Structure 1
Amino acid sequence: MKAVLADEHGSAEVLRVADLPVPQPSEGQIQVRVAAAALNPADLKMLAGPTPLHFPHVPGSDFAGTVSEIGPGVNRFSVGDEVFGYALPTPDAAGLVSDPPSVTTGTMAEYAVFEADTPALAFRPEALPAARAAALPTAGLTALPVIRALETSRRTDSPDRGKTVKVLVIGAAGGVGSVLVPLLAEAGAHVIATALLEDQEYVRRLGAREFIDYWAVDTIDETLRRHPDGVDAVVNLGLPGDSLTYAERAIRRRGILLNVTFPQPDPADFRADLTVETLLAWAGPGDLDALAEKAAEGVMPDTAGRVFALGEGAEAYDVLQNEHTRGKIIVVMPVGDGR
């Protein structure tokens, strides 16, 4: 089979497309003929080290495809099932995804093996094309904890309950933002999205009511100019997490700052009345099914920014590393057996 692979730690430059043996499922595992896979910045961070990797290493965690073989003891899936999901290509990091863990041989390949008994895999609805399904897992499973944290912050005894929530989303045009902004809009939030000027119409189509060009103005100063009393929440999707103390000026009393990036901010560095949390992608039972349903219903638009063939997989990672991207970068696999 063809796969994007690396023989050593490094940047996108160490990746190439080459032949590898088709991975075979062991007990409790399924083999999937991958139809599409989505790139994530974490793929490159893992490749850069110091995470221990088995070489040749095939990157990729998000995918959609067809079950092609099942290992002993698998009852959940059958050959021919259309599936999608999220797994990490190293056992050392698998606990960050779900419980039971979700591990893969790497999704940037024509075939990949996955643990079957994990909420990080789900059946793909017929109404959801493979490329769109592949774009959902990491972004969606990062966005859902943000939505839930915001819901929890609006307690039933809160004096602000019933008011429209104002949410500043920093870095709204990326993969997570492309899922989060529509979910916030569906929930009735007033979303203020930061992005480049060229992405203004894109984030407005996602559901943002306001746009801030973070290259043209200071995001926090501009937010306070428009909303002198501050916003209810700031969600950081793009800046280093430890650089966010300046953002507290824009958050009202008893507000919340949610972060999904590293390094994590230290809550002790912020005002005592603020809730400060770092949230990671996590798959719970039914989460992927809920995301797929909303995507199929049109709540979330197609977030594929650029699409590459598998033979261009190394180039796709170079684009992710060196160019501005919108939404998700997708790699589609060739039609055929690929063995």
Structure 2
Amino acid sequence: MKAIRVHAHGGPEQLRLEDIPLPEPAPDEIRLRTDVIGVNYVDVYHRTGSMPLPLPYTPGMDAVGTVDAVGADVTELAVGQRVAYAEAPGAYAEFVTVPVRLAVAVPPELDPRLAAAAMLQGMTAHYLAHDAHPVARGETVVVHAAAGGVGQFLVQFAKRAGARVVGTVSSDAKAALAAELGVDTVVRYDRDDFTAAVRAATDGAGAHAVYDSVGRRTFHASLDALRPRGSLVLFGQASGKTEPIDPFLLAQKGSLKLTWPTLTHHVLTREEFTTRAEAVFAGLLDGTLRARVDAEFALADAAAAHAHLERRASLGKVLLHHP
């Protein structure tokens, strides 16, 4: 079968299409013939080595496909079903084996492209808004990169909960998209003082929570944007790793809470995984959530997909397909 392989950390040119053996599912796994493959910024972190995986490897953490084979112990899904999965490696391939606990049936009426566009990023936004800091009605929260893949879903979950959202973006096009999604105050974090904007939007009180996927560039300003006992939820480092801090700084700034959660630790059981995935699918079907596909590439053009993502011009999910 064809798969993208990475043999050394580096630029997009490290993504190479190769022939590798067809994998066989373990007793608790299914094998999918992938139809639509998600491209996520974590794939860039893996490729560059900022969050390294053992070399060589096949990139990709989520996809939608058709069950091609099932392991001996699998009873939850069957051959021929359309399934989505997340949080298992190896998606940039014609076939992938996945633990059944990380896979869920896609409703027949849901466009598989939208399911793929919403799977990993929608589930990430779900645990951020419901667990990492549960958004409550009347709160003010800050969503950095509000027009990004996770940011778009996070804005929608926060608005559904009844929060005021301050969203930061890096371009006028992204500002327009953030406003369309319902962001109450849109700030260009690349040129404007978003901390001042948060203070102005809250009569000086500060935000209840900041969701930060940018990292080094915004970290200290995010802390400064919080009210006493506010929460800074880190979940990415697009601008680089944050500098170490003395934990006492959190006390000095108002008994703040700081956390870096991951999706892995919020889908520890099949029930937890399916609950989150089905909540995202239900939102797509009833119109309370929107998924936006930004660009689509052939599997063989995975390097171009990564280059597109790294230009930070995308306004939604980047997808891969193969014949």
TM-score range, shorter chain: 0.7 to 0.9
Q: Flag structure 1 segments of 5+ consecutive residues without an equivalent.
A: 90-105, 155-162, 335-339
- Which residue, out of 145, 148, 153, partners 2:127? 145
After alignment, is 206-215 or 75-84 more displaced? 206-215
- Which residue, out of 109, 120, 141, partners 2:93? 109
Structure 1 residues 302 and 145: CA distance shift in structure 2, 3 A: closer
**Residue 184 of structure 1: how far off its partner (Å):** 0.8
The answer for the alignment partner of 1:178 in structure 2 is 152
SS of the aligned residue for 2:229 comes to strand
Task: Kindly provide the amino acid, as one letter, of the partner of residue 269 in structure 1.
Answer: L
1:307 and 2:302 matched = no
Matches within 5 A, 1:54-69: 54-55=55-56, 57-69=57-69
SS of the aligned residue for 1:135 comes to helix
1:252 and 2:227 matched = yes
How far apart, CA to CA, are the structure 1 residues paired with 2:63 and 2:6?
Answer: 19
Structure 1 residues 217 and 310: CA distance shift in structure 2, 3 A: same
Structure 1 residues 54 and 257: CA distance shift in structure 2, 3 A: closer
Q: TM-score, normalised by structure 2?
A: 0.86
- Which residue, out of 188, 192, 199, partners 1:213? 188
Q: TM-score, normalised by structure 1?
A: 0.82
1:275 and 2:264 matched = no
How far apart, CA to CA, are the structure 2 residues paired with 1:145 and 1:136?
Answer: 14
- Which residue, out of 94, 115, 126, partners 1:133? 115
Please say if residues 233 and 258 of structure 1, whose CA atoms lie closer than 8 Å, have aligned partners that are also in contact.
Answer: no
How far apart, CA to CA, are the structure 1 residues paired with 2:218 and 2:179?
Answer: 26
Q: Flag structure 2 segments of 5+ consecutive residues without an equivalent.
A: none
Instruction: For CA contacts below 8 A with separation 6 or more, give which structure has more relative contact order.
Output: 1
How far apart, CA to CA, are the structure 2 residues paired with 1:274 and 1:37?
Answer: 38
The answer for the alignment partner of 1:93 in structure 2 is none
- Which residue, out of 301, 315, 318, partners 1:326? 315
Please say if residues 146 and 167 of structure 2, whose CA atoms lie closer than 8 Å, have aligned partners that are also in contact.
Answer: yes
Matches within 5 A, 1:12-51: 12-49=12-49, 51=52
The answer for the alignment partner of 2:103 in structure 1 is 121
Please say if residues 236 and 261 of structure 1, whose CA atoms lie closer than 8 Å, have aligned partners that are also in contact.
Answer: no
**Residue 272 of structure 1: how far off its partner (Å):** 4.1
After alignment, is 31-40 or 257-266 more displaced? 257-266
Structure 1 residues 329 and 27: CA distance shift in structure 2, 3 A: same
Deviations 1:41-74 (A, max 9, x none): 211222333735253x210011111101112221
Structure 1 residues 247 and 115: CA distance shift in structure 2, 3 A: closer
How far apart, CA to CA, are the structure 2 residues paired with 1:293 and 1:152?
Answer: 19
SS of the aligned residue for 1:204 comes to helix
Tell me how many residue pairs correspond in the alignment. Answer: 307
SS of the aligned residue for 1:68 comes to strand
Task: Kindly provide the amino acid, as one letter, of the partner of residue 93 in structure 2.
Answer: A
How far apart, CA to CA, are the structure 2 residues paired with 1:328 and 1:206?
Answer: 15
The answer for the alignment partner of 1:193 in structure 2 is 167
How far apart, CA to CA, are the structure 1 residues paired with 2:135 and 2:321?
Answer: 40
How far apart, CA to CA, are the structure 2 residues paired with 1:107 and 1:131?
Answer: 15
How far apart, CA to CA, are the structure 2 residues paired with 1:289 and 1:295?
Answer: 10
- Cα RMSD for the two superposed structures: 2.3
